[in-house]
Structure 1
Amino acid sequence: MSGGVDSSVVAYLLKKKGYHNLEGVYMRNWDTADERGVCTSEEDYRDVQAVCRYIGIPCRRVDFVKEYWTDVFSYALQAYSQGETPNPDIMCNREIKFGALVNYARAALAGPDESPVWIATGHYARTSCHGPNGQPSPMLTTSKLEPVRLLRGQDPRKDQSYYLSGLSQAQLRRTLFPLGGLHKAVVKDLAREAGLPTASKKESMGICFVGKRRHFADFLGEYLPTTPGPILDSTGAEIGTHPGLYRFTIGQRARIHHGPHKWFVYAKDPTRNAIRVVPGRDHPWLFTMAFTAGNVHWIAGEPPEKLVSGGVMLDVQVRYLQVPGRGLVTLRSDGSLRVQVVRPVRGLAPGQFAVLYDGDRCLGNAVIKSPEIDA
C-alpha cells in the first residue's frame, strides 16, 4: 500500500471479498526529506495506517532503502551520466515492488503451513490467470500451468502495463490486480462510498524521490558532477555551452540564444560531452523511423514463435500513456531487436524502454540503444 486511493481501494475490495490473512504492507524506499523538510514517506505511512484501521486489517512498514539505492537509483544515475534517459519506475517494479517485496513476503508472511503468499497492488493492469476483478482463475489449479499473460488495464487513460513490462512469470503468477477491470472514476467513487480516509487524497505523479517542487535536473545535480560542455549545431560548430549532459533530453528545447531560431536537442555525445542541436521543433533529425534495442525481456520467457521465424508487426510504445505505433519488429542473431515504425517517432532517446504489445497483451520490453536518423 502506497497511501494513495488506488491501493486503499484494493485493500478494501479484498477485505470485502473475504480474503483471509489480509495485511497491508508499506514500502519505505527513500529516506530523505523533500524540499519542505518533510519526509513524505511518514505522511504516506500514516495514511496507510488510517486505511488499515478503518477496514480492520493489520499493516506493517518494510525498509528497502538499501535495495532501492543499489538496484534502481544507482542504475538511473549511471544511465544519466552516460547521456541516456532511463526509466526508474520500470526498474522499481521489477527489482523492488515485485522483487524485494515478494521475497520479503514469502519469508516473513507465509503461514506455518508454508501456504503461498499473494501480492495485490493498485496497478491498472490485468493478467490471464485472474478474473476481471483480480481474483484467481481455475487455471492456477491445473497440473500444467500455462504462461501468464500481462494485459492492458481496461481504463486506457490509466493503463500501467507499460511499467510492468519487466516482470517475469514467477512475479506475475502470484500477483493480483483488482483494479485492472475498473476505470479510475469508478475507483474514486468506491473510495468515497466506502468512506476511506484517502478518498479525497490527490494523486501523486512522477518519481517518488524527487519531490513535488524540485526540477528533476536540479535533483540529479546533487548526485552527478556538473561538467559543462559544448552545444554543437548540425555542422559541428559550437554555438553555446551546456551545464551537464544529464540536464537535457533528446527532443527538448535547448534554450540557448543563437540567431533567430529555437534550438532542440537531437543527440547527445558522451565522448565529447557535447549536446547536438537543430533549429525548429519539427526538424527531420528529431524524428526516427527505426531503432535498435537490447537487454530484451520477454514476459513469457522467450520470444513469440512468429518473431523467431521472421519480422512481425507489433504495437510499440516508448513512453507511458503514449498512443502506441505499429512497427515491424525483427529479432537479430544476438538477441537484440530492430524496430521499423510505420509513423516517425519524435525525441527517441537511448536508455528509454520500448514496450511491445500484441493487441492488449504486453509481450515484454527492450532498452533503446541507437535511434536511426537521417543525419
Structure 2
Amino acid sequence: MLGSLWHGLKLRLTTQRRLPKKGDRVVMAMSGGVDSSVSAALLKQQGFDVEGFYMKNWDTRDERGVCPSEQDWHDVQQVCQQLDIPCKQVDFVKDYWHQVFQDTLDDYAAGLTPNPDVLCNQHIKFGSLLNKIPDDAWLATGHYCRTDGYGRLLRGREPAKDQSYYLSTVPWTALQRTIFPLGDIPSKRQVKQMAHDMGLLQVATKRESYGICFVGQHRKFADFLGQYIDQPAGQAMDLESGKIIGEHKGLFGYTIGQAAHIHHGSHKWFVAHKDMESNTLLCVPGSTHPALFHQACIARHWTWIHTYRPSSPSINVMAQVRYRQQPLKARLTQDDDGRYRVTFEQPIRAMARGQQVVIWDRDWCLGSGIIDDIVPANLPI
C-alpha cells in the first residue's frame, strides 16, 4: 500500500534481523490466564529455557473491591510447577501508578477516553519488565500478534483476536527482543483446546478477564473511578432541542457513543458530547444519529514504531480507533502544527478524544497517536 515510501526502511531492517533459537533464555510474562500459560508451554516444548514472570501492578491494600490478583499468582505458580519452569513475582505497583493509572485518572477527569492497556504495554510490560531481564534473553507475551525478527509488529492470524492495536506505541527495539507464541494460532478456541490437551485444566476453563484487573469482576468501572475522581452530577440535555432530559452522575463515567441510561420519553439516548465547562452531558436519540458519526480525527503524541516518517506528506493507510473495530481505509497527513490527521473514506461512529488511533500497512502496524480533536461527518439528519 505504501509502496516505495517504506522501501528504504525495509532495506535497513533486513540487515538487523534477529531470530530466537533453541536453548535461548525466554522470560514469559504470565498473567494466570490461558493465553500466557499455553505460550509458556509452547516455548518449553520448542526447547527454550523458559522462566515465568508475574507482574504485580496493583496493591490490593489500596482497593476496597475484590481483586483476582492473588488467585492469578496462584495459577501462575501452579502452571509453572506443572511445566517444570521457575517463576517469580515482580512488583511494578509504583511504576503502574505513576506511569499508567494517574494519567488515566487525569484523562477521565478531563472528559477524555484513554486506553490504559496501551500505556501499560508501553511503560510496564515493554518498559519496566523488559528492563529487568538480561540483554541476551527474550521477552515473550501471550498477545495475539506477530513480529518477524526485524522489529516489525504484524497482526495476529485471527482477526477477531488481533491485539497489535494495544502494542502500537512499543518501539521496534523492544519488539525485536519479543516472541509472540500465539501469533500464528488461528483461533482462541484452539488455544483453549491446546490447554486442555496439555493438561493445563485450571486455565483451560478459566473465565477470561476483560479491562483493568483491579476493578474486580462484579463492579462497574464508573463506580471504581468515582473513588478517585471528584466530579459532581449534572444535567443531561438533548443535543438537538437543548431541553433537559435527565441527570448524569459525573461526566467521567460516560463514553461517546454508548447508551446514556437516561430515561426520558420513548427514545433510547446515546452520549454525543461531554461539555466539561458547563458539566453537561449532551445526548441524542438513537444509536445511528448523525451527531455520532465523524469523518476524521487529529492526533497528538504520535509514535512511529520505527521512528521513521514517510517522505510524502500524505499516505494511504488502514486505521482503527478501537480494538476489534474493522480496519478502515484512511488518509494520513501531517498538519502544520506537527499533529497527524487521519481522514476516513467513510464516516465512522463514536470517535472520542483520548482514544488511540492506530495505522497499518496491510498487516504491518506502523504506529499511532492519541485523538486530540475530531471532525464531524456531514450527514443529513
Helix, strand or coil: the match of 1:369?
strand
State how far apart, in whole Å, the 2-side matches of 1:293 and 1:39 are: 34
* 1:374–1:240 CA distance, 2 compared to 1 (3 A): farther
Q: Kindly indicate whether the alpha-carbon contact (under 8 Å) linking 1:8 and 1:198 is maintained by their aligned counterparts in 2.
A: yes
State how far apart, in whole Å, the 2-side matches of 1:247 and 1:38 are: 20
Match of residue 214 from structure 2:
209
* Cα offsets for 1:7-58 (capped at 9, x unmatched): 11111111111113x2110011112279996541111111111111111111
Provide TM-score, normalisation by structure 1. 0.87
Helix, strand or coil: the match of 2:81?
helix
State how far apart, in whole Å, the 1-side matches of 2:221 and 2:65 are: 17
Q: Kindly indicate whether the alpha-carbon contact (under 8 Å) linking 1:33 and 1:40 is maintained by their aligned counterparts in 2.
A: no
Alignment equivalent of 2:199, drawn from 195, 198, 208: 195
Quote the sequence identity (%): 51
- 1:294 aligned onto 2:305: no
Superposed displacement of residue 337, structure 1: 1.2
* Cα offsets for 1:324-365 (capped at 9, x unmatched): 111111112332111211121111110000110110011111
Helix, strand or coil: the match of 1:370?
strand
* 1:302–1:57 CA distance, 2 compared to 1 (3 A): same
Alignment equivalent of 2:182, drawn from 179, 183, 187: 179
Match of residue 36 from structure 2:
7
State how far apart, in whole Å, the 2-side matches of 1:37 and 1:223 are: 13
Q: Kindly indicate whether the alpha-carbon contact (under 8 Å) linking 2:146 and 2:154 is maintained by their aligned counterparts in 1.
A: yes
State how far apart, in whole Å, the 1-side matches of 2:143 and 2:153 are: 12
State how far apart, in whole Å, the 1-side matches of 2:276 and 2:67 are: 35
Q: Report the aligned-residue RMSD.
A: 1.9
State how far apart, in whole Å, the 1-side matches of 2:192 and 2:263 are: 46
Alignment equivalent of 2:127, drawn from 71, 76, 99: 99
Count of matched residue positions in the alignment of Structure 1 and Structure 2 = 346
- 1:228 aligned onto 2:253: no
State how far apart, in whole Å, the 2-side matches of 1:321 and 1:67 are: 28
Alignment equivalent of 1:278, drawn from 276, 281, 284: 284
Helix, strand or coil: the match of 1:93?
helix
State how far apart, in whole Å, the 1-side matches of 2:338 and 2:65 are: 47
Counterparts of residues 311-326 of structure 1 (less than 5 Å): 311-326=314-329
- 1:152 aligned onto 2:152: no
* 1:202–1:253 CA distance, 2 compared to 1 (3 A): closer
Equivalent position amino acid for 1:209 in 2: F
Provide TM-score, normalisation by structure 2. 0.86
Q: Kindly indicate whether the alpha-carbon contact (under 8 Å) linking 2:303 and 2:368 is maintained by their aligned counterparts in 1.
A: yes
State how far apart, in whole Å, the 1-side matches of 2:308 and 2:337 are: 14
Q: Kindly indicate whether the alpha-carbon contact (under 8 Å) linking 1:228 and 1:243 is maintained by their aligned counterparts in 2.
A: yes
Alignment equivalent of 1:44, drawn from 59, 72, 78: 72
Superposed displacement of residue 72, structure 1: 0.7
Counterparts of residues 52-91 of structure 1 (less than 5 Å): 52-91=80-119
Helix, strand or coil: the match of 2:125?
helix
Alignment equivalent of 1:368, drawn from 360, 366, 371: 371
Equivalent position amino acid for 1:232 in 2: M
Helix, strand or coil: the match of 2:78?
helix
State how far apart, in whole Å, the 2-side matches of 1:7 and 1:261 are: 44
Helix, strand or coil: the match of 1:46?
helix
Q: Which runs of 5+ in 1 are unaligned?
A: 130-146
* Cα offsets for 1:144-167 (capped at 9, x unmatched): xxx521000011121110111110
* 1:259–1:68 CA distance, 2 compared to 1 (3 A): same
